[in-house]
Structures are given as C-alpha cells and as structure tokens.
C-alpha cells in the first residue's frame, strides 16, 4: 500500500508539473520521438520504419498550421499541399543556386508569409465553400507551376536538394559518433524542429493572438464588438498556416533530399485536413495523433494486412470520428481519464446505503 501511495504521489507530481509547465511536456514528447532515430542501429526497427515516422513528424508540422486555420480561426484551406511543395522545392532550388541553407529557409518562409497575407486579404471577401474553392485553385496553380516551370524541375520531375544526405544542407553534422548514418541524424533534427513548432504554437494559442483567433471563430460580429480586428487576425491566421506548411516542406527537403514536383496535389491537402479532424481540433498533441493514425497506421501495419484496400480505412475513420467524436480522437483519452477518476473516487459503501434506503422507502 505504501509503495502504491508513493508511486501515485510521484505520478501526480509529474502530472502537475506538466500542467504548470507544458513546455516540459513538449520537450519530453520530442525526446521520446527523437529516440526512434537510434532504434535502427539496435536492429529494433528498420530504416524504412524510421522514414515513415519522418513523414509523420513533417505532416504534424504542416497540420499544426492547418489547425490554426480550422481549429482556432474557423477558416478553411484546400491549398495546403501547394505550400508544402513551395517549402520543399523552394529550398532545393535556392540551394542549387548556391545560397546557404539558412538563407534559403528564410527566403521561402518570407515568400510563404507574403502569399499567406494575400490569401488572408482575399478571404475577407469570401466565406465558407467559396473560400475553400479559392484556396483549392491557389494550390492547383502552385502545382502547375512546379510541374511546368523548368527551374522547379519541369519534366524532370525531381529536384535534388543535396547530392548526399547531409552534405550540402548541414555538412557532416552528427550529434554523436554513434550516429554514423545521416538519416538518423536528420531524423533527430526534424524532430527537434517539430518540437520547437509545437512550443511556438502553444505560446501563440495562449497569447492574445490565440484568444482573438478563437473569438473570431465563434462569431466575427461579437469579436469585432470586443475590439478584435478581423483584418489583422485573418491575415495572421493565413500567414501562420502558410508558414507552417512551408516549413514542413523545408523539413521534407532536409530529410529526404530528393524532392518530386508531382506529389503536391489536392489529395495531400485532403489528407492533412483528415489528420486535423481525426486527431483533434485545437489540440497540439492531437495533431500528431492524427498524423500517426492517418499516415502511420496504414503504412506501418494495415498495408501488410489489407494491401491497397487499407486506404479505405482513412475515409471510414473520418466518418466515424465526425459522427461519434467530432472534436477528434485525442478527446477519447480525456473522457477515459474522467471515467477512470470517477470510478476510482466512487464511494461504493455510500452507493449501497443509498440503494438500500431507496428500497425501504419504496416498500413503505
């Protein structure tokens, strides 16, 4: 009993610590995910599995940006994939032109921010389905540019962002002598970047900007009455979303080195939306959960069992979530925790006494 009590005290103190300082939770979470990068060296997982987790990490960053639009601002975009491609291809092209990696990243993020501001201005004139259609065309225009303009590869379909993993982008940078495979090093780096974007989003959400975005999502008229500038915060929402998506593309170029010009399609944009819906609106951890469920589960397990049919899983899952858990799967954990504490703190003696008292009163 004493051991159980001491264990409960330790767990409760850790839980309180993460609640009072959530940044510690994000850092611990990032550390756990980054540890996947060393598992192939012990033969615990294959390098291909690590590559699947790299996709999950990258998609998490992209979906975080979309969650700012969908979850916190009540806006929609179907052009997310176009900006992911802008980050990946833009980084590759700037590196081919001889620019340093840091300068290339800053340039693509700046250009993405400007595009986001333009879309934000345009969004003042359109709402709902019309905004979705407009952003869809933006994404399609970007895709056509990538496949037709020669500087992005044109008919060659592939732009290299480094002749060898880690050479042009970061030199022979390694975290330890143990990590002799550049893929492992790059996986740890992109996980660190994902953790930073999570912490940044948490700070944004908890700031005045986050409160203004949520007020705007509930009611624009009420938000304006409270002094919230719709112009300012619509621009902010689209700028943040496009920069997050573009930064995800930068991470793609950093890790995979080979960047295709043909994969930044509407299908990818819809997949990213599915990650936000399945994982959870307004949830940072839920965004990672959504990326894991939508991309990780089919590629790690279901493809081996069901083959191509496994992709039906995504559509069915989204329908189930919308019907039974419209806020996302992450809130299942919240409900289970509430149920656990309810059962744990349930006074069975008192319940039985009340039951007997009720039976006596009924008999009378």
Reduce the DSSP state of residue 258 to 3 states and report it: strand
> In 3D, which of 306, 298, 245 has the Cα closest to residue 77?
245
Per-residue pLDDT tens digits of the chain, which is 364 residues long: 455 555 555 555 555 555 667 899 999 999 999 999 999 988 888 988 999 999 999 999 999 999 999 989 989 999 999 999 999 999 988 988 888 888 999 999 999 999 999 999 988 888 888 999 999 999 999 999 888 887 776 555 555 555 443 333 443 333 444 444 478 889 999 999 999 999 999 999 999 999 999 999 888 888 888 888 888 999 999 999 999 999 999 999 999 888 888 889 999 999 999 999 999 888 999 999 999 999 998 888 876 776 666 677 778 888 888 888 888 888 776 677 676 666 766 554 555 555 545 454 444 4
> In degrees rounded to 5, what are phi and psi of residue 62?
-60, -45
8 Å CB contact between 87 and 111: no
Helical pair 266-279 and 47-67, crossing angle rounded to 10 deg: 80
Determine the longest span between alpha carbons in the chain, in angstroms: 92
In whole angstroms, what is the distance from residue 15 CA to residue 28 CA? 13
> In 3D, which of 89, 98, 250 has the Cα closest to residue 168?
98
C-alpha to C-alpha distances, 143 to 122, 146, 148, 253, 334, nearest whole angstrom: 20, 5, 9, 17, 40
- Residues composing the chain: 364
What single-letter DSSP state applies at residue 164? S
Per-residue confidence (pLDDT) for residue 341, from 0 to 100: 64
Q: Count, in order, helices (H) and strands (E) of the chain.
A: 18, 2
Per-residue confidence (pLDDT) for residue 174, from 0 to 100: 39
Neighbours of 334 (CB within 10 A): 12
pLDDT tens digits, one per residue of 116-151:
999 999 888 888 889 999 999 999 999 998 888 877
> In 3D, which of 283, 249, 277 has the Cα closest to residue 263?
249
- H or E segment and range at residue 20: helix 2-20
> In degrees rounded to 5, what are phi and psi of residue 79?
-110, 20
8 Å CB contact between 213 and 236: yes
In whole angstroms, what is the distance from residue 30 CA to residue 293 CA? 18
Q: Report the chain's C-alpha Rg in angstroms.
A: 24
Which CATH code fits 22-325?
Answer: 1.10.3470
Per-residue confidence (pLDDT) for residue 172, from 0 to 100: 35
User: Which tokens sit at 57?
Assistant: 């990490």
User: Which tokens sit at 261?
Assistant: 């010009």
């Amino acid at each position: 009993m004493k051991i159980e009590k001491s264990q409960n005290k330790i767990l409760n103190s850790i839980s309180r610590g993460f609640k009072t300082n959530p940044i510690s939770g994000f850092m611990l979470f990032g550390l756990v995910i980054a540890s996947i990068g060393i598992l192939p060296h012990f033969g615990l997982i294959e390098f291909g599995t690590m590559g699947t987790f790299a996709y999950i990490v990258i998609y998490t960053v992209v979906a975080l940006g979309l969650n700012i639009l969908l979850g916190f601002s009540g806006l929609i975009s179907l052009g997310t994939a176009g900006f992911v491609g802008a980050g990946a291809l833009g980084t590759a092209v700037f590196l081919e032109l001889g620019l340093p990696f840091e300068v290339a990243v800053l340039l693509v993020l700046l250009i993405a921010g400007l595009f986001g501001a333009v879309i934000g201005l345009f969004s003042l004139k359109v709402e709902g389905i019309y905004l979705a259609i407009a952003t869809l065309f933006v994404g399609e225009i970007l895709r056509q540019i990538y496949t037709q303009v020669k500087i992005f590869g044109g008919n060659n379909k592939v732009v290299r962002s480094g002749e060898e993993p880690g050479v042009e982008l970061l030199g022979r940078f390694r975290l330890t002598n143990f990590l002799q495979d550049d893929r492992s090093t790059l996986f740890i780096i992109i996980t660190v970047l994902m953790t930073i974007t999570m912490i940044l989003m948490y700070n944004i959400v908890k700031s005045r900007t986050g409160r203004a975005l949520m007020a705007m999502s509930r009611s624009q008229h009420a938000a304006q009455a409270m002094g919230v500038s719709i112009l300012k915060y619509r621009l902010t929402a689209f700028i943040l979303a496009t920069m997050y998506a573009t930064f995800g593309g930068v991470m793609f170029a950093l890790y995979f080195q080979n960047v295709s010009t043909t994969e930044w399609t509407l299908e990818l944009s819809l997949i990213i939306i599915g990650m936000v819906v399945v994982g959870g609106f307004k949830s940072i951890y839920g965004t990672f959960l959504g990326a894991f469920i939508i991309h990780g589960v089919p590629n790690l397990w279901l493809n081996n069992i069901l083959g191509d049919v496994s992709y039906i899983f995504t559509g069915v899952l989204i329908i189930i979530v919308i019907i039974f858990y419209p806020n996302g799967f992450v809130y299942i954990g919240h409900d289970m925790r509430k149920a656990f504490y309810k059962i744990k703190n349930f006074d069975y003696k008192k319940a039985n006494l009340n039951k007997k008292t009720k039976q006596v009163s009924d008999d009378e």
